[in-house]
Amino acid sequence: MRRTRFSLAAAVAAATTAGLLAVPTVAQAAPKDVTVQLLAMNDFHGRITPQAGADGSLATAPGTDGRYGTADDVVVPVGGAPQIAATVERMQSTFTDTTQGPSTSLFVGAGDLVSASPFESSVYKDEPAIEALNAMGLDVSSVGNHEFDRGTEELRRISAATDGTYSDDVTACEGITPGVDGCFGEGEHAFHGAEFPYLAANVISRETGEPMLPPYQVFRTPANQRLAVIGVVTETTPTIVSPDGVADVTFIDEADAVNRWVPVLQRQGIQAIGVLVHEGGTVTDPSAAPTANDCTALTGPIVDVNARTSAAVDLIVSAHSHNAYNCRLTDPSGTPRLVTQAGYYGRLITDIRLPIDRSTGDVDRTSRAYGATNVPVTREAADPEVQAIVDYWNVRAADARNAVVGSATASIGNSASSQRGVEQPIGNLVAEAQRVALQQAQFGNPVIAFMNPGGVRTNIEAGEVTYGELFAVQPFGNTVNAVTLTGAQIDDVLEQQFQVGGPRNSTLVLGTSAGFGYRYDLSRPYGDRVLDDTITLNGTVLGATTSYRVAANSFLTGGGDSFTAFTGGTDLVTGPVDVDALVAYFATSSPASPPAADHGRPA
């Protein structure tokens, strides 16, 4: 199933929120040029259903205080596969109607389209997300690190467009039992794999010495001009996925891989070249808009990747860091080059315009038409074909949601937002479940786990516990990660709970795993409220310079809720989706009882 682009529905789906859905504010290419529109999305993570809460909203303007990130921001609901499809269709229609001369539009991805997904996609191994992406008309994507979460064989299985090429010798329903561990859909929803190719120029098969999947894809315009895109993923992938799942491949430097294939394309006469890289950067300016259409204070690996990538590359679409930016960074020849990212979860689409000179076949980066804009995916319209897919999988998922996975002896609670300043039994339970889930050598057998209170959304009631109930506890699709922290860094984490007078100016008390304890004195100044000699593990005081393996979800390890001390950790490894860890805990530890909420006590 693949939707038809430039549908009539898209042409009439006009935006009602002024300024939110503007096309790039650059002049159109002259008729002598061939104009290519690339619509780019990254880090979709199977968010087929419009998300609630912060994941489903976007600040599009500051409030009266003129600053983003405050309570009076102008916020609109965004995201959802049907809404993405409608937005893409509308943007393509607008492009076609307003562009002079030959033109073509392509919808591209930069990885992490699947995995770390919500229940209705994750429980079916993200086959629902693949079906939705097919229906959206995605043309190509680089692989992301999360495409390797289930291993290289699963990636080969879902990537139908690459079957029979490079090392992809696995078809969509090969090696699984249909309806049990794959190929879950029925009738028109039967799984056939991704109709778009995944690219992996820097993921090298140990057997062949060549990329495991195609390194690039070539497209032709109506004027017979050619544009190639090369796909690469963060070189750090082996450190953030299960090592066993990627044992048959190696990951080489992103820029080195791109630079290997650029001359190959040029020998074919292709001069217009873009890169889809699942690696990114961070906009560190706190006043930058979430829809960032500039490059204020950009830092991170993408800056280095750009600096080392061949000047023949005309565009870099990036990902991975879940930031939005629209940059012109200098390439090795000193020429400005577009470097973009569209945030995460399909909340934004980057509208990129590439004017290709007919005489040279190269992108004219001096043209006023060369540019990009990050466009919010608002919810004025929904594509009916994609909506039908989402509805089907949500109905199917209802059965899985009702599956009993364990039981509780009593209500395990205190998840209310008003209780986040105190220790919660349910937070401690989730922390312990995450510690237990990572008791494997590949994760380093963590001895301590932390859970952010805002990540626990509801209580677990006494009696039978269903999969859906546990998913409601942790609905964000975070992964459980392992990271090494010193005793001093753990002390810093604990201090960052009590930020009255600090950056967050509030108290958020973490859930902690069994055997961990500490004492605090709120009369002391911020940064010195936890008593160092009371921080213990199984009764032994932590050593300031001693290293400890710690489990925490991806929100915390990324510094969420101002727990920035986690970001100083080392040897980060990505584990299972958080709800899966909780389900596994109930499967082996039922009936579960409320843990004590006394790991942290006033001095």
pTM of the model: 0.75
Q: Is residue 14 a part of any domain in this protein? A: no
Q: For the chain, what is the domain count?
A: 2
**pLDDT at position 587, please?**
95
Selected residue with higher pLDDT from 270 and 72: 270
For the chain, what is the mean pLDDT? 90
Residues 433, 389, single domain; the answer is no
**pLDDT at position 31, please?**
58
Of 365, 395, 425, the one marking the end of a domain is 395
Residues 357, 431, single domain; the answer is no
What's the CATH code of the domain at 502? 3.90.780.10
What the block records as the tokens of 574 is 């990505």
**pLDDT at position 157, please?**
98
What's the CATH code of the domain at 304? 3.60.21.10
**pLDDT at position 416, please?**
67
**pLDDT at position 418, please?**
67
Which letter, b or e, does each residue of 384-398 get, where b requires 16 or more Cβ atoms within 10 Å of its Cβ? ebbbebbebbbebbe
- Lowest mean pLDDT across 59-63, 491-495, 586-590, 592-596: 59-63
pLDDT digits (tens, 9 = 90+) for 294-319: 787 899 999 999 999 999 999 999 99
Residues 198, 135, single domain; the answer is yes
Residues 257, 378, single domain; the answer is yes
Residues 485, 374, single domain; the answer is no
Contacts 24+ apart (CB under 8 A), 557-563: 557/481, 557/483, 560/452, 561/452, 561/454, 561/504, 561/508, 562/496, 562/499, 562/502, 562/503, 562/504, 563/452, 563/493, 563/496, 563/510
Residues 537, 571, single domain; the answer is yes
**pLDDT at position 90, please?**
97
Residues 495, 379, single domain; the answer is no
- Lowest mean pLDDT across 167-176, 372-381, 468-477, 579-588: 468-477
pLDDT digits (tens, 9 = 90+) for 19-73: 334 444 444 554 578 999 999 999 999 999 998 887 899 988 888 888 877 778 8
Q: Is residue 357 a part of any domain in this protein? A: yes
**pLDDT at position 8, please?**
26
- Report angle CA 18, 23, 25 to the nearest 5 degrees: 100
Residues 351, 450, single domain; the answer is no
504: pLDDT strictly greater than 50: yes
384: pLDDT strictly greater than 50: yes
Residues 500, 369, single domain; the answer is no
9: pLDDT strictly greater than 60: no
The domain in which residue 463 lies consists of 406-602
Selected residue with higher pLDDT from 373 and 458: 373
Selected residue with higher pLDDT from 265 and 555: 265
Q: How many CB atoms lie within 10 A of CB 101?
A: 16
DSSP label at residue 291: T
Q: Is residue 320 a part of any domain in this protein? A: yes
Q: What are phi and psi of 282, to 5 degrees?
A: -130, 130
CB 400 within 8 A of CB 102: no
Selected residue with higher pLDDT from 183 and 118: 183
Mean pLDDT of 145-160: 94
Residues 245, 375, single domain; the answer is yes
Which of 20-34, 170-184, 414-428, 560-574: highest mean pLDDT? 170-184
Residues 410, 322, single domain; the answer is no
Q: Is residue 401 a part of any domain in this protein? A: no
pLDDT digits (tens, 9 = 90+) for 82-127: 999 999 999 999 999 999 889 999 999 999 999 878 889 988 999 9
